[in-house]
A and B are shown apart, each in its own frame.
Chain A
Amino acid sequence: MGTNAIMENTTAGQGVKKMEASFLIDATKCIGCRGCQISCKSWNQNGTDRTTAGPTFTNPPKLNSKTYTNIAFFESEQNGAVSWNFARNGCFHCKKPACASVCPVEALVKTPEGPVIYRAERCIGCRYCMLACPFNVPKYEWEKLSPKIQKCTFCYDRLLAGMIPACAKTCPTGTIHFSDSIEKNLAEAKKRISENPGKYHNHIYGEKEAGGTSVLLLSALPLDQIGHAKVGDQVLPDLTWKYISGIPAIIGVVLAAGIGSWVITRRMKNMDKEDE
């Protein structure tokens, strides 16, 4: 089913139930099994990569055009013992997505249910979305002649069919917790932090980052220590909109100045003539 068809379906089915898809991902529960990685690949029919052993167990080392989510492994020392931390990477489905705001053809769009989805048939491949995404999520099929952007869809097709996303469904430890309300997940995250003093680094990643996202992260370590980008709280599209909304004023000023100087300089020329 093309994503356009999905979009139409949703608009038709709107009002039935207000959904606001959200993940609460609690890294302290993750055991690094990578079930989410596999089930994501299998649901989205994304192929595999030939990889080589790297310095860590993270494999593939980064998200790529065939990998919408991966688990990054971080080894550290705590109280003299080796300790593992796992970070799940993927799209945050921002409330105000930079990727969709920069796309010149609305190939990336924020759906009413929350997922930010991609409509390949519109995309011109400018890759502005990749530059703009503060979390470095959209990936490109560099090797192809007719390449597409690839990123997590929040399993939009499953959501519409009443199923929860494949990765959340597979997760055996409840690390990836799905909810149909961001608020509920936020309350849950706050509860976990307050009920378990010392267990969590006191920050809900995604609550404020980039103006707030649908995916919220909890972790024992500060999130930049497990590979998550340091992202400011600004709503990124607002930065651009400030400029764009000023364009009518610029037009007015340039037109007024242009016509004004034309009139004045012509007058001056005519006066010169009269003087002669």
Chain B
Amino acid sequence: MSTERHEIKMFTPMTLGLLILIIAGAVSVYKRMTLGLGATTNLQDDFPWGFWIGFDVLGGVAMAAGGFVIASAVYLFNMKKYKPIARPAILTAFLGYLLAASGIFLDIGQPFRIWHPMVMWQVHSIMFIVAIHVVIYTTVLAMESSPMFFERIGLKGVQRFVEKIMMPIALFGTLLSTLHQSSLGAVYLIVPDKLHPLWYSSLLPFSFLVSAIMMGLSMVSFESILSSKFFKHQANVGILSGLARGSMVAIGFYFVLKIFVLLKGPGIGAAFAGTMEARLYLLEMAVGVIVPLILLLIPAMRNSTGSIFLVNCLVIVGVVINRMNVAIFGLLRHAHERGASYFPTTNEFMVTLFLVALGIFLFKFACKYFNVLSYEEVKQ
């Protein structure tokens, strides 16, 4: 069973670039831990949450949605076709959650008390619910990815056992993800007077869930295409166009939901009011929803790897813009009213770059040493 993983070279210019980012970013992490939040971030009393919450936590978790979508397709809906991408999808989810958890660790003022919510339950707090989910779901993801670890160290029996009980694990994972993705939207339900009406809505939890599914599907497809380029093998067009069809349905649904929320809330006019918020809203909708939807509605596009890749990039960027709009830009108006403003420091950017670079590096590392990408060849 020759596997492609041995062809992965660890010493490439890209790895070198990643390592440089990791080292530079580690310095920023060190500064955050030794100098404190005030000295290293632009967070302030009138803007207590910034880039780390927006990108690392909201973005990281949304990125991870591919894990539960593919796991439930394969293990609950019995769509065997997608089995080859289950491992990279679940690994991505695991790394996404690691990004989010590290983001939270660095963002909270008392990192070493991160375990407090586990023992001091407060069920009225969304933050408590989010924290519990991060912990349990990261464990579930570790279990979901454990077969490739057991396979690697030769414990075939254990591997087979875990694969046998994958259905309940996947079901539990799907349940946790549904709750967690929507809970992150629910975090903002408490700020009706602060968050701009273009984004505030009682349906925030639902729109976070649906957009996370979009982003998850795109992430998985994006990775499949990249890895096929990497190994110069033909991308599995069946899988890719299947994912594209799934995206089309999810994006179509999200489009209707967003329009409904807009009409029910501030009205169409708010999106064309020419304000900073209106422009960002249009950008988010154009990049992440409207252009991808149009592309996907054209059958030829849906079946071409090139345009699927373009759609993936658009959706990923679009959903990230949405999260930044909710976490940062949608709250800026309120900060401005109080004579404050916010833009992340270099240090904040560097810490996030560190986490992202580390994630990519770990992904590559896992592909090299475990059968992540070449599962088909290891048929049980």
B interface residues with partner A (beta carbon < 8 Å): 34-39, 43-46, 48-49, 72, 75-79, 104, 107-110, 113-114, 116-117, 120, 122-129, 131, 167, 171, 174-175, 178-179, 182-183, 186-187, 189-194, 202, 205, 338
Contact = CB atoms under 8 A, between A and B. Distances in A.
A125 B109 contact: yes
A127 interface: yes
Looking at chain B's contact residues, the main secondary structure is helix
Nearest to B335: A136
Contacts of B194: 131, 134
Interface stretch (A8-16, A31-39, A95-103, A213-221): A95-103
A271 interface: no
A94 interface: no
B125 to A, nearest CB: 5
B193 A262 contact: no
B109 A258 contact: no
A247 B104 CA distance: 23
Contacts of B37: 140, 142, 147
A269 interface: yes
Contact of B117 (A104, A258, A262): A104
Given A124-B116, A142-B37, A243-B186, A136 B46 contact: yes
A236 interface: yes
A127 B49 contact: yes
Contacts, number: 169
A234 B192 contact: yes
Interface residues of A, number: 57
Given A131-B49, A261-B76, A262-B171, 13 more contacts: A104-B125, A122-B120, A123-B113, A124-B117, A234-B192, A236-B192, A239-B189, A244-B123, A254-B174, A258-B72, A258-B76, A258-B174, A262-B77
A124 B186 CA distance: 20
A59 B107 CA distance: 30
A116 to B, nearest CB: 14
Contacts of A229: 193
7 contacts: A65-B45, A143-B38, A229-B193, A237-B124, A237-B190, A255-B171, A261-B77
A222 to B, nearest CB: 15
Contact of B114 (A65, A124, A250, A261): A124
Contact of A142 (B43, B72, B76, B205): B43
A127 B124 contact: no
Contacts of B36: 142-145, 147
Interface string A82-99: 000000000000000010
A259 interface: yes
A265 B77 CA distance: 6
Contacts of A261: 76-77
Interface in A105-137: 105-106, 122-128, 130-132, 134, 136
Contact of A123 (B46, B110, B174): B110
B15 to A, nearest CB: 34
Contacts of A234: 192
Given A124-B109, A142-B37, A232-B192, A242 B125 contact: no
